[in-house]
Structure 1
């Protein structure tokens, strides 16, 4: 089974304006609401690819109910844990193409809430399951939260870790199957300014020494680098018109997990990941199976 965890989900409220003027009454020309969260996006991609997963996380209040009901209507499996405070609301403003975001305050997650989640992992996860740990950690939880989860699941669970900062560093030491930092996150982690392919590969190998079996470094429009135990691959980006990069990293992970669940080779998982992330970047919304497969033929990967 595939599980995705979003510790800090949100109701994302999108507003589009022709002209937003600070200090004035502004009426948007378009609004819509979606469940937000990196792990949720991974599960959405998997659902688009006709692959089941279970969304885990903490939700509360009317905003939490919206997330749960919306995902259920889309056919996703969920197992959320109820908290007392409302799930946060993120406001995303598009002002004639200029995008801004107001991040909502995270609700409090109690020690009892977290123990309930840990008990779920202890009881339900089995060897060879896949677990995606994605996104930021609310301030009410300890930075060791992802590491604590890894310690409470079978060793053969394939953990995909997509976070940053201290939670990333602590969890990495416990050993994970895959990490997906971007260039900025690599430089932040090592307090450096790596720019060349050689420097980034060296940094990726250092991350392997620290606990990652596989390292996927996303470079935006310049492609990506994938480092396994045996090989190093450089992947390009297929041609297309960028509409929005929002969710493309999560889509890359979703595509990779799809391939992993099909027992494909790591190189094939990487190809599908690139196609999935690119299809989302070239779409209004997340990639579909068709938009992903249409790009597969255009993926170019070089083995070093």
Structure 2
């Protein structure tokens, strides 16, 4: 079973426009409203894979109720912790092949709520085999909060897959409590090692031996349309993917996390894990709706992904 954690979820609102013009009225051709936030994208894709998954995190207000109702309608299990603040809305305007986003920062979490969620999480996570922790922390929560979540996961000898960036990720990597998997992109990797980073295999191989990554079983570096580079233990892999027609790449990293969690759950080989993760990322990019995959092309793409040990 997989538990997904989204500390700062959102109602994702997508407006499709033929043309977006400033300082005038714009009428949307199509509108979608879905449960959003990186962890909930992971949740949906795991559900579409047929995995036993539950979502948790912080929710509040009418947007929070909407979010829960939509998950229930999709037969997705959830057990959120209620807060006094209101779950945020995040707006994406799709226009002329571009995407303009307007993201609310979200509620300010009270210290008592943050502490109570740790207790809630501690009770909740015990039966799960893999726990994914995704996205930003809302205001009011200290940057070392994910350290506490990872510590609880490790205490039950479960596997934590952490997908975050900035201070929250740095705090975890500085701590003694390491997640099982992290999934930085090149920009995030550059920030972690405080130097420019290229996609060259030898450069990445050297960088992933940096002391900051010690104790982490899997470091999977997303290279976007160029695939991925990964380190598992002392073994390094280059992942090459086919060219695809991307419709909406938003959420592809979350689809990749879903693939990692699913592969860990089923004990797949290194190559199979990397293939599943990358195929799901590509399938998400081919869909209009964020956090959704059409599995009809899964096998075809799986055969086109090449994993090489380097």
Counterpart in the other structure of 1:194: 197
Give the aligned partner of residue 123 of structure 1. Answer: 123
- 1:280 equivalenced with 2:281 (yes/no): no
- Aligned match of 1:234: 238
Does the C-alpha gap of structure 1 residues 128 and 267 become closer, same or farther in structure 2, counting only changes over 3 Å?
A: farther
Q: Over residues 217-261 of structure 1, what are the superposed CA-to-partner deviations in whole Å (9 max), with x where a residue is unaligned?
A: 010111101111142111011232111111111101101111111
Does residue 263 of structure 2 align to residue 262 of structure 1? no
The whole-number CA distance in structure 1 between the counterparts of 2:209 and 2:161 is 17
* C-alpha contact 1:16 1:96 (8 A) present in aligned 2: no
Match of 1:161 in 2: 162
Deviations 1:134-179 (A, max 9, x none): 0011121000110011223325110111111111011123111100
Say whether 1:244 aligns with 2:245. no
RMSD: 1.6
Change in 2 beyond 3 A, CA 1:170/1:210 = farther
Unaligned stretches of 5+ residues in structure 1:
none
Asked if residue 224 in structure 1 is aligned to residue 228 in structure 2, the reply is yes
SS of the equivalent of 2:143 reads: coil
Partner of 2:7: 7
SS of residue paired to 2:210:
helix
Instruction: Judge which range, 224-233 or 121-130, deviates more.
Output: 121-130
User: Structure 1 residue 71: deviation in Å?
Assistant: 0.9
| Aligned residue in 1 for 2:308 | 302
**CA shift in 2, pair 1:127/1:82, >3 Å:** closer
CA distance in 1: counterparts of 2:75 and 2:270, whole angstroms: 28
Output aligned runs, 1:65-214, within 5 Å. 65-126=65-126, 129-153=129-153, 154-172=155-173, 173=175, 174-195=177-198, 196-206=200-210, 209-214=213-218
Count of residues paired in the alignment: 304
CA distance in 1, matches of 2:244, 2:20: 29
Tell me the SS of whatever aligns to 1:276: helix
Segment drifting more, 189-198 vs 268-277: 189-198
User: 1:17-72: per-residue Cα shift (whole Å, max 9, x none)?
Assistant: 11221111111111111111111111111101000111011111111111111011
Cα distance between partner residues in 2 of 1:219 and 1:290: 24
Is the 1:255–1:269 Cα contact (8 Å) retained in structure 2?
yes
1:15 touches 1:93 (CA, 8 Å); kept in 2? yes
Unaligned residue ranges in structure 2 (runs of 5+): none
Instruction: Specify whether residues 128 and 87 from structure 1 end up closer, same or farther in structure 2 by C-alpha distance, changes over 3 A only.
Output: closer
What is the CA deviation profile of residues 56-90 of structure 1, one whole-angstrom value per residue up to 9, with x for unaligned ones? 11111111111111011111110111111211111
Give the Cα separation in 2 of the matches to 1:82 and 1:232: 42
Q: Name whichever of 67-76 and 104-113 sits farther off.
A: 104-113
Scaled by the length of structure 2, the TM-score of the pair is 0.93
